Structure 1
Amino acid sequence: MQDELSPDTKEQLNEATSTWEDWTPSPIGRPTPKQQLGGITNLSFLVTDGPGQWVVRLNSDVTDGGISRSNELAALASAHRAGISPPMVFSNQNFLVSKYCPGDMPTLMDLAEIGSLFADIHSLNVSVPPIDLLTHLEAYQFQVRDMQITPDRDVADCYSRVMAMPKPKITTRVLCHQDLTLSNMIKTNSGIVAIDWEYARQSDPAYDLAVFTYTHELTQKQFSDLLNSYARHEAELPQRVDYFQRVYAMIEIFWSLIRGGEINTGKLRALLDSA
């Protein structure tokens, strides 16, 4: 498999596995790569020493103000203690190693378990800084400008409309994953767990639900099922989810621009026009 990797990636992966004696618990020998796993922001690899398997995530060097490695480690530790995330065995600024968790990506047929997972995450007592999501969005817009990327007029119009929306009153801040979509969940024999906590912050819980709802285009029935299993009754939660879907959509557009990806404002514009 290593022959298919770029020289830089091969060097990073070799550097990661060279630390195997410092992993807790440590393998019986230096693990070797078995296969490349999925990943959009970061590259991840399944490695093995024979009886044991781990996931090595090589951290992206793309500047992203939403990522905090210290927040991620704090959230990971708490989530693992609660049984909703695999254990981390080693980390530094360049990579993170966690125990491999066998399972499959859940589907929208699993909304009852997914809602409970959100509730479990939002119940964790973790000391990480809060995030102001409009300030975060504005920072992405500045990064796009500083990279001399010129968005088209439609992007600029959507951004202006999102920033002008009436901001709901936020009465609750909890630990939020901030990127919890189906691709960051694993359905195991003992339940659904969450991975990739690098965006974790204290925020309005409605934002987490908005990320999931927007990404997977939940119907009203599916959204109701999600909230029923979430079972945290908060004032105007559906309205706040609706608001944060638009904020998240704009964040995703700038995120894609920064990484050179394709963008489509049609889905966000439809939401804005329906307000």
Structure 2
Amino acid sequence: MTELSEYFANLACILPTTGEIKTTLLEEGFSNEAYLIDWGESIHLVLRVPFIDSDIFYINRASEMAALKSAAALGLSPAVIWNDQKGAFACQFVVQPSLDWSVVHKDKDVSRIAKSLASSHQGLPITNHQYAVFEVIEHYLSGIHSYAKKDAVLLKEYEYLKSVFSQLAQPNQLFNSVLCHNDLNPKNVLMDNEQLWIIDWEYCGVGDPLFDLAVVAKSHNLDERQTMLLMAEYDVSLPLSESLAAMSEYKKAYAVREMAWLLLKHLVTPKDRISLKYYYEFKATPSLNPFYA
């Protein structure tokens, strides 16, 4: 658990000078810790503290913060109240819950997600950080090979990932690049019947908008009909067959990226046994791993 005193010192102009300030670890995730900070009668802030190496995981903190602040200005993300240069920030607390990995959406919620994604692609300014998922996977595989070179078991997993990656065909990009979220899974969408928020812009970067659509379709468990609805609500002018073909390859690339990320996370932080456990579970689950055999 992170020592919070230095962050509280930086938040001194925001926090009350009298009374008790409570902190609660909201979630100790794979790459960040999030804390609820409350005083008086209500929760006021969420403090996010990162603890992974940005370069190893292809994260650009300046791009992340620019995207988060711009998304907040558009009403798509909670407002940022404070941030530093290392990726820590405090933002407005919102009551909407994150979604479950097993979420089954109503059509109206698919439409809401599609329209929020379209708003972000149309409204967020381009940053200098490029994000092409095939290049990211290559970057992760290089890191895995470097860290696993003395571990025969994990080198075998590296060879497996390299093999499945070689089976992918990188789609031709059909549309202009936009600032993409690149990880819009159910845990990064907070929503109820009234409001939808997009959070965790850690992996944002300029790339193909169809990758964002593919991640939503795959990770939110959309069937074929709801995938078509997602595309129509995002942009009715999308060329259907070409877009579906590209998204099919991007869904596979998303799966390879997730497996590579989990394995790399374990290798970078060996005490983290959860990442390795989840890697093997992901690999052995046909609904997650399109290369399972």
Normalising by the residue count of structure 1, what TM-score does the alignment of the two structures yield?
A: 0.85
2:204 to 200, 205, 223: 200
Partner of 1:265: 283
Partner of 2:189: 185
Asked whether the 8 Å contact 2:25–2:35 carries over to 1, the reply is yes
Paired residue type of 2:221: E
Partner of 1:35: 24
Q: Confirm whether residue 228 of structure 1 aligns to residue 232 of structure 2.
A: yes
Asked whether the 8 Å contact 1:27–1:52 carries over to 2, the reply is no
The offset of 1:87, in angstroms, is: 0.8
Distance 1:70 1:181 in 2: 22
Asked whether the 8 Å contact 1:246–1:271 carries over to 2, the reply is yes
Distance 2:34 2:288 in 1: 34
C-alpha spacing 1:103/1:136, structure 2 compared with 1 (3 Å):
same
Q: What SS does structure 1 have at the residue aligned with 2:200?
A: coil
Name structure 2 gaps, 5 residues minimum: 149-153, 267-274
Partner of 2:162: 156
1:176-221: CA deviation from partner (whole Å, max 9, x where unpaired): 1111112111125642011111111111111111112222332112
Distance 2:12 2:288 in 1: 52
Moved more, 235-244 or 30-39: 30-39
Q: Confirm whether residue 116 of structure 1 aligns to residue 129 of structure 2.
A: no
The offset of 1:258, in angstroms, is: 1.2
The offset of 1:269, in angstroms, is: 9.0
Distance 2:74 2:144 in 1: 38
Moved more, 67-76 or 130-139: 130-139
- Matching of residues 125-140 of structure 1 within 5 Å: 125-129=124-128, 130-140=130-140
Partner of 2:146: 146
Paired residue type of 2:73: R
1:143-179: CA deviation from partner (whole Å, max 9, x where unpaired): 00111141435333212212xx253234321111111
C-alpha spacing 1:137/1:114, structure 2 compared with 1 (3 Å):
same
- Matching of residues 95-110 of structure 1 within 5 Å: 95-106=88-99, 107=103, 108-109=105-106, 110=109
Name structure 1 gaps, 5 residues minimum: 1-5
Paired residue type of 2:17: G
Distance 2:236 2:22 in 1: 42
Distance 1:169 1:124 in 2: 20
Aligned length: 260
Identity of aligned residues (%): 23
Asked whether the 8 Å contact 2:175–2:209 carries over to 1, the reply is no
Q: What SS does structure 2 have at the residue aligned with 1:259?
A: helix
Distance 1:157 1:200 in 2: 27
Paired residue type of 1:265: K
Partner of 1:245: 251
Q: CA RMSD in A?
A: 2.5
Asked whether the 8 Å contact 1:20–1:29 carries over to 2, the reply is no
Asked whether the 8 Å contact 1:29–1:49 carries over to 2, the reply is no
Paired residue type of 2:98: M
Distance 2:112 2:171 in 1: 30
Paired residue type of 1:47: I
Distance 1:77 1:85 in 2: 8
Distance 2:183 2:162 in 1: 24
Partner of 2:272: none
Asked whether the 8 Å contact 1:33–1:45 carries over to 2, the reply is no
Distance 1:68 1:232 in 2: 32
Partner of 1:3: none
Asked whether the 8 Å contact 1:78–1:126 carries over to 2, the reply is yes
Normalising by the residue count of structure 2, what TM-score does the alignment of the two structures yield?
A: 0.80
Distance 1:270 1:102 in 2: 33
Distance 2:9 2:211 in 1: 39
